[in-house]
Amino acid sequence: MTNSIDTPSRYRMPTVFGPSPGPRQGPNGERFDLSDTPRTIASISFLTDEAELRKLLPPNCELDGEPIVTVEHVTLTELEWLAGRGYSLLSVSYPVRYRGASESVRGSFMPVLWENRCEPILTGREELGFSKLYCELPEPRILQGTRLHTAVWEGHEFIRMAFSDLVVGAPPNSPESDGILHHRYIPSLRQVGESAVDEMVLSPQVSSAKPRYTSFVSGIGEVKFIRSTWEELPTMFHIVNALESLPVLSPRFSYIAEVRGATDLSEQRVLG
Amino acid sequence: MTNSIDTPSRYRMPTVFGPSPGPRQGPNGERFDLSDTPRTIASISFLTDEAELRKLLPPNCELDGEPIVTVEHVTLTELEWLAGRGYSLLSVSYPVRYRGASESVRGSFMPVLWENRCEPILTGREELGFSKLYCELPEPRILQGTRLHTAVWEGHEFIRMAFSDLVVGAPPNSPESDGILHHRYIPSLRQVGESAVDEMVLSPQVSSAKPRYTSFVSGIGEVKFIRSTWEELPTMFHIVNALESLPVLSPRFSYIAEVRGATDLSEQRVLG
Amino acid sequence: MTNSIDTPSRYRMPTVFGPSPGPRQGPNGERFDLSDTPRTIASISFLTDEAELRKLLPPNCELDGEPIVTVEHVTLTELEWLAGRGYSLLSVSYPVRYRGASESVRGSFMPVLWENRCEPILTGREELGFSKLYCELPEPRILQGTRLHTAVWEGHEFIRMAFSDLVVGAPPNSPESDGILHHRYIPSLRQVGESAVDEMVLSPQVSSAKPRYTSFVSGIGEVKFIRSTWEELPTMFHIVNALESLPVLSPRFSYIAEVRGATDLSEQRVLG
Amino acid sequence: MTNSIDTPSRYRMPTVFGPSPGPRQGPNGERFDLSDTPRTIASISFLTDEAELRKLLPPNCELDGEPIVTVEHVTLTELEWLAGRGYSLLSVSYPVRYRGASESVRGSFMPVLWENRCEPILTGREELGFSKLYCELPEPRILQGTRLHTAVWEGHEFIRMAFSDLVVGAPPNSPESDGILHHRYIPSLRQVGESAVDEMVLSPQVSSAKPRYTSFVSGIGEVKFIRSTWEELPTMFHIVNALESLPVLSPRFSYIAEVRGATDLSEQRVLG
């Protein structure tokens, strides 16, 4: 396990077999080109209760503007780092302002996201600080103009997103944002409850990876988190139930978009 | 996200929803009783080439005695932390001696293990430093006295363990060992190639969790790692191919056992 | 596609590739030996309303004795016709008396059973007339003495069997029975609503395949069919809802048994 | 189980719960509208050896013109009879001329097709006479301009279709054809080797269901059937190996198309 000084390699466990191929490092150490990678985004936003949402803030963050929660189901295909395979994810986020010792940024905080494949969960948690968890994300069901996305774990459905009355439209201007914030946390083995890593990190906006919309429709979106028991979701019930406690005060923008172009997220950085 | 001083809680990402239930922390912070938890172990050992195996050693370790590789397929059921569900794993290990700044231990080094469920992979990597990866581990195929265990990823079989001529026997005495060693490694976000955590850790032998055999048969065991391409295993080909490079010089002990009693591994500790 | 007169071969679709290997015909036309094949049976019986149950009777049958419904989850392993693989099934049955033109038999009628593998569903429907359907049958969850079996289709749980207070006991004497009855039905293509095959068939008791119990516990069993919508179970909602309409008037015998020995069901015959 | 004379209902096993919802009969007996149902077709044709292909002909059929085998992977979504879900299939076909007692038709004979969902397999076999079998059909892998479709059963890949150099083009004129032919066969229970149903059936061309192309690219296509053992494919090895025996003498037209519009196949009829 040696890295040349010129080309430091990325490692993850296991280490003894050499550098770890992943989204930001090909089998020969190369980067991947994501400038034309397609994805489908199904997004629902809603206004919630400010006091309730404030309970779900990470260190050094406060809510920024209206308490609007955005839930997105994203389908990724043609991923070069997976030799052409794809996967899906479902994320939750809301706008925050971070004020640290040396800098202040505004963006979306992503407290949790689910993915239906273990490999990007491991690389995303350990290399990026994304709070990724596993669940099944079945193909959307499309019936008479209604489109239904669900999240399921072991026969238990715990999130349901329904879209209807979709009409072709133009993507809105993105709000000004420095990027997406995450709370990166790795426990220490030296003392229960202590951390080895505890830091706020940022996935910055990358102008070169600005998504190009190839299709855009907007309409009515409804998202429902389903209150769940420990028996149903033994490692996730508290997360789903906290999200279920956020009232939907009024719907906001909902859309489904086909997009091309992404970043490999190698710009991910620790906030100061 | 506050811990009382008296009862520190375990956290993993995501953090903002409170302490994280897992193998070492129930939904109310309690520990689980594993003293009667059953598991089935299918184990194959073989003598390999010392020079080849030496290429797969972690920091501060050397081979200890004969270069014997052990491959084990383990089926776990009735796990309380998963509300009664189970999963399977397939591990690789070999005997090493660790010599650190302040201590020296002998045990099995586990460079990699695969599991067919994402939740224990996350807790095991982050809370314990186990080099866990995901794959499918189908139920064994048992045909006319031959028992076949395989490891599969996306339609590609990459490990095959075959048992035959199994006869009832007595479990051998365990070799003297301080436990199982792992190389715990978490990358830093500050500099590519740098680590946030890089330490040798130990799962110590726990006398109270000494397994009680309820069934034991031994016989002929053959294990085969299948050389794989990047396209077949884009994040794991280098691991499987390194293991495939270890020649089987002669078979050693192979057995299948039913066992009761385990530890929750909360004794896991960093080696000095 | 030619059969010798001496050894007629079994065919199923597709036909042009030659005889079809299956449970009753090996790759070389041979029969399989099931005399030591293991299976685990988890069985719950309950008394229901006679008038409700009478709605679910096949042609030429009436209820025989008390209206007792039996629901069984069975796990099969080491199946030679699947080259050592296994699968699970969940069946429903109740006692009937069949009176046909030329014979009268008593036995259990099996209106429906679910299996978690497509191959035995096809052979069972077409070669035997079993009313097999597909669903997921997860491994049982065993938590603090309670054992839970479920049936799931696409993220929707529709049957739940719970066992508790299990104590070792002796298997009861089987009731006198001629076997298990099925309504074999294949539609015609010549006219919608007409049948190509419509007959009552019997899986006779086979004395040589009398099961040998290797473990037997009995206790409290509760089964619940979960009322479902067309959207949740578009091809099966009417079946599950009909079963849900059967009230549980009082529990009857429930047990879990490990058994060895089975028949390949080649004795299956049409009732006259 | 009674049908009014005016509206005969379709039944499949199980029968006692009433008419069976399916592709040609909604929950209230209605038909479904497939006039805008989307599907993606990935098609590869090749010239093979006439004598080899002649071994795979059904009753009353001879090859019609050049011995060209077509292998198609089709992805179906938004299926109303599955409440908006979809599935994939992979079919094999070649041109034949059928000459029966009372009619003569020309079309493609489909000896076998695989689907990755059990429900359409059951309805297709029993209501239509399609020779459907089950396998996994993973999402295509798309890597640097190459598109790979595979068929997998229990960790064993047995068909591989690769597309490259795809360029936008116009769909060719369909050859004159009366439709798709199938050999419908259901065994009898009265005598091993005898049939309850044995007939040639036709899925006629339906002018109202003429597909509308929304995207069309053609290029180089290569299909490979992978020789398999009984242990790998215990119920299908003979099928895959027979297809593997068909030499690829020269490639013919290969394309990938997005199409809208289908029939529910209720025109399926028995050939005389």
Instruction: Report pLDDT for B68.
Output: 98
Rounded to the nearest angstrom, the minimum Cα separation between B141 and chain D is 10
Instruction: Report pLDDT for D6.
Output: 59
Q: Which of D83, D85, D126 sits opposite C187 (nearest CB)?
A: D126
**Do residue B85 and residue C144 have CB atoms under 8 angstroms apart?**
no
**Do residue D139 and residue A77 have CB atoms under 8 angstroms apart?**
yes
**Do residue A83 and residue B230 have CB atoms under 8 angstroms apart?**
yes
Nearest CA in chain C to B85: C141
Which contiguous run of DSSP H or E holds residue D247?
A: none
Judged against a pLDDT cut of 70, whether residue B141 lies above it is answered with: yes
A chain contacts of residue B56, beta-carbon cutoff 8 Å: 16-17
**Do residue A21 and residue B235 have CB atoms under 8 angstroms apart?**
yes
Instruction: Report pLDDT for D211.
Output: 84
Other Cβ atoms within 10 Å of B191 Cβ, number:
9
Judged against a pLDDT cut of 80, whether residue D3 lies above it is answered with: no
pTM: 0.96
**How far is it, in rounded angstroms, from Cα C121 to Cα C89?**
10
How many helices, marked H, and strands, marked E, lie in chain A? Answer: 3, 14
**Do residue C127 and residue D189 have CB atoms under 8 angstroms apart?**
yes
Which contiguous run of DSSP H or E holds residue A121?
A: helix A118-123
Nearest CA in chain A to B120: A235
Average pLDDT over residues D201-222: 92
CA torsion sign for C118, C121, C125, C128 is positive
**How far is it, in rounded angstroms, from Cα A200 to Cα C123?**
58
Q: Which of B58, B63, B124, B60 is nearest to B91 (CA)?
A: B124
Q: What Cα–Cα distance (Å) separates residue D24 from each residue in A136, D28, D82, D271?
A: 30, 11, 11, 20
**Do residue D155 and residue B136 have CB atoms under 8 angstroms apart?**
yes
Burial of residue D143 (number of CB atoms within 10 Å: 0-12, 13-18, 19+)? middle
D→B interface, C-beta within 8 Å: 136, 138, 141, 143, 150, 152, 154-157, 231
Q: Which of A80, A86, A148 sits opposite D139 (nearest CB)?
A: A86
B chain contacts of residue A185, beta-carbon cutoff 8 Å: 11-13, 15
Nearest CA in chain B to D142: B231
pLDDT tens per residue across span A93-103: 999 999 999 99
- Touching chains, C (3+ CB pairs < 8 A): A, B, D
Nearest CA in chain C to B141: C84
Other Cβ atoms within 10 Å of D233 Cβ, number:
21
**Do residue B143 and residue C80 have CB atoms under 8 angstroms apart?**
yes
Q: Which of C50, C52, D14 is nearest to D1 (CA)?
A: D14
Rounded to the nearest angstrom, the minimum Cα separation between B80 and chain C is 6
**Residue pairs between chains A and C whose CB atoms are closer than 8 Å:** 21
**Residue pairs between chains A and B whose CB atoms are closer than 8 Å:** 199
**Do residue B138 and residue D154 have CB atoms under 8 angstroms apart?**
yes
E strands present in D17-155 = 38-47, 61-63, 68-79, 85-99, 104-115, 132-134, 141-143, 146-153
**How far is it, in rounded angstroms, from Cα A125 to Cα D65?**
59
Which one of B156, B158, B160, B226 would you mutate to disrupt binding with D, by most D Cβ within 10 Å of its Cβ?
A: B156
Q: How many CA atoms lie within 13 A of B50 on its CB side?
A: 6
C chain contacts of residue A150, beta-carbon cutoff 8 Å: 155
Angle at C240 between CA C234 and CA C244, to 5 degrees: 145
Q: Which of B143, B157, B231 sits opposite D155 (nearest CB)?
A: B157
Nearest CA in chain B to C38: B142
pLDDT tens per residue across span B118-140: 999 999 999 999 999 999 999 99
Least trusted range by pLDDT, from B3-17, B85-99, D93-107? B3-17
Q: Which of B176, B179, B80, B81 is nearest to B129 (CA)?
A: B179
Judged against a pLDDT cut of 90, whether residue B6 lies above it is answered with: no
Rounded to the nearest angstrom, the minimum Cα separation between D239 and chain A is 28
Main-chain phi, psi angles of C82, to 5 degrees: -105, 25
Write the CB contacts of D245 (distance below 8 Å, at least 6 apart in sequence): D52
CA torsion sign for C31, C34, C37, C41 is positive
Instruction: Report pLDDT for A6.
Output: 59
Judged against a pLDDT cut of 70, whether residue C77 lies above it is answered with: yes
pLDDT tens per residue across span B15-57: 999 999 999 999 999 999 999 999 999 999 999 999 999 999 9
* The amino acid at A245: S
pLDDT tens per residue across span A78-124: 999 999 999 999 999 999 999 999 999 999 999 999 999 999 999 99
Nearest CA in chain C to D17: C239
Judged against a pLDDT cut of 50, whether residue C153 lies above it is answered with: yes
**Do residue C138 and residue A154 have CB atoms under 8 angstroms apart?**
yes
C→B interface, C-beta within 8 Å: 77-78, 80, 83-86, 139-144, 146, 148
User: Cβ distance D259 to D213 under 8 Å?
Assistant: yes
Nearest CA in chain B to A17: B239
Burial of residue A161 (number of CB atoms within 10 Å: 0-12, 13-18, 19+)? buried
SS3 A58: coil
pLDDT band at A174 (very low <50, low <70, confident <90, very high): confident
Nearest CA in chain D to B157: D155
- Touching chains, A (3+ CB pairs < 8 A): B, C, D
Angle at B14 between CA B11 and CA B20, to 5 degrees: 35
SS3 B186: strand
Rounded to the nearest angstrom, the minimum Cα separation between C3 and chain A is 45
Specify which residues D234 forms β-bridges with.
Answer: none
Nearest CA in chain D to C200: D189
DSSP codes, D233-244: STTTHHHHHHHH
Rounded to the nearest angstrom, the minimum Cα separation between D53 and chain C is 11
Rounded to the nearest angstrom, the minimum Cα separation between C60 and chain B is 42
**How far is it, in rounded angstroms, from Cα A224 to Cα A245?**
11
Instruction: Break chain C down into helix, strand, coil percent, rounded to 5.
Output: 10, 45, 45
Nearest CA in chain D to C109: D16
Q: Which of D83, D140, D143 sits opposite A141 (nearest CB)?
A: D83
Q: Which of A136, A138, A155 sits opposite C157 (nearest CB)?
A: A155
Instruction: Report pLDDT for D56.
Output: 98
CA torsion sign for C196, C202, C203, C207 is negative
Judged against a pLDDT cut of 60, whether residue A3 lies above it is answered with: no
Rounded to the nearest angstrom, the minimum Cα separation between A26 and chain D is 13
A chain contacts of residue C143, beta-carbon cutoff 8 Å: 231
Asked if residue C67 has a cis previous peptide bond (ω within 30° of 0), the answer is: no
Write the CB contacts of A207 (distance below 8 Å, at least 6 apart in sequence): none
Domains, chain C, ranges and CATH? Answer: 34-270 (2.40.400.10)
Q: Which of C141, C143, C155 sits opposite A150 (nearest CB)?
A: C155
Write the CB contacts of A40 (distance below 8 Å, at least 6 apart in sequence): A74, A75, A256, A257, A258, A259
Q: Which of C143, C150, C231 sits opposite A155 (nearest CB)?
A: C150
What interface predicted TM-score (ipTM) does this complex get?
0.96
pLDDT band at B158 (very low <50, low <70, confident <90, very high): very high
User: Cβ distance D17 to C110 under 8 Å?
Assistant: no
Least trusted range by pLDDT, from A195-199, B121-125, D208-212? D208-212
Which contiguous run of DSSP H or E holds residue D161?
A: strand D156-168
DSSP codes, D170-206: -PPPPPP-SEEEEEEEEE-SSSTT-EEEEEEEEEE--
Nearest CA in chain C to B81: C143
Judged against a pLDDT cut of 70, whether residue D1 lies above it is answered with: no
**How far is it, in rounded angstroms, from Cα C113 to Cα C134?**
9
Write the CB contacts of B2 (distance below 8 Å, at least 6 apart in sequence): none
* The amino acid at D183: H
Instruction: Report pLDDT for C6.
Output: 59
Q: Which of C262, C259, C258, C225 is nearest to C241 (CA)?
A: C225
A chain contacts of residue B187, beta-carbon cutoff 8 Å: 10-12, 126-127
Rounded to the nearest angstrom, the minimum Cα separation between A197 and chain B is 7
pLDDT tens per residue across span D76-87: 999 999 999 999
**Do residue D78 and residue A142 have CB atoms under 8 angstroms apart?**
yes
Q: Which of D150, D155, D157 sits opposite B138 (nearest CB)?
A: D155
Q: Which of D143, D155, D231 sits opposite B155 (nearest CB)?
A: D155
Q: Which of A73, A70, A200 is nearest to A148 (CA)?
A: A73
Judged against a pLDDT cut of 50, whether residue C2 lies above it is answered with: no
B chain contacts of residue A234, beta-carbon cutoff 8 Å: 21, 27, 81-83, 85
Residue C33 tokens read as 């030996």
User: Cβ distance A86 to A57 under 8 Å?
Assistant: no
For strand A250-260 and strand B61-63, is the pairing parallel, antiparallel, or unpaired?
unpaired
**How far is it, in rounded angstroms, from Cα D203 to Cα D130?**
10
Higher local confidence (pLDDT), D148 or C172: D148
Judged against a pLDDT cut of 50, whether residue B2 lies above it is answered with: no
Judged against a pLDDT cut of 60, whether residue C74 lies above it is answered with: yes
Mean pLDDT of all residues belonging to chain C: 95
The C-alpha R_g of chain A, in whole angstroms, comes to: 19
Judged against a pLDDT cut of 80, whether residue C116 lies above it is answered with: yes
SS3 B9: coil
**Do residue B201 and residue A189 have CB atoms under 8 angstroms apart?**
yes
**Do residue A143 and residue D77 have CB atoms under 8 angstroms apart?**
no
* The amino acid at D74: V
Instruction: Report pLDDT for A199.
Output: 98
**How far is it, in rounded angstroms, from Cα B138 to Cα C82?**
14
pLDDT tens per residue across span B236-249: 999 999 999 999 99
Burial of residue C63 (number of CB atoms within 10 Å: 0-12, 13-18, 19+)? middle
Which contiguous run of DSSP H or E holds residue D60?
A: none
User: Cβ distance B61 to B80 under 8 Å?
Assistant: no
pLDDT tens per residue across span C170-219: 998 887 899 999 999 999 999 999 999 999 999 999 877 788 999 999 99
pLDDT tens per residue across span D155-191: 999 999 999 999 999 998 887 899 999 999 999 999 9
pLDDT tens per residue across span A200-246: 999 999 877 788 999 999 999 999 999 999 999 999 999 999 999 99
pLDDT band at B176 (very low <50, low <70, confident <90, very high): confident
For strand B179-187 and strand B104-115, is the pairing parallel, antiparallel, or unpaired?
parallel
B chain contacts of residue A126, beta-carbon cutoff 8 Å: 125, 186-187
pLDDT tens per residue across span A12-64: 999 999 999 999 999 999 999 999 999 999 999 999 999 999 999 999 999 99
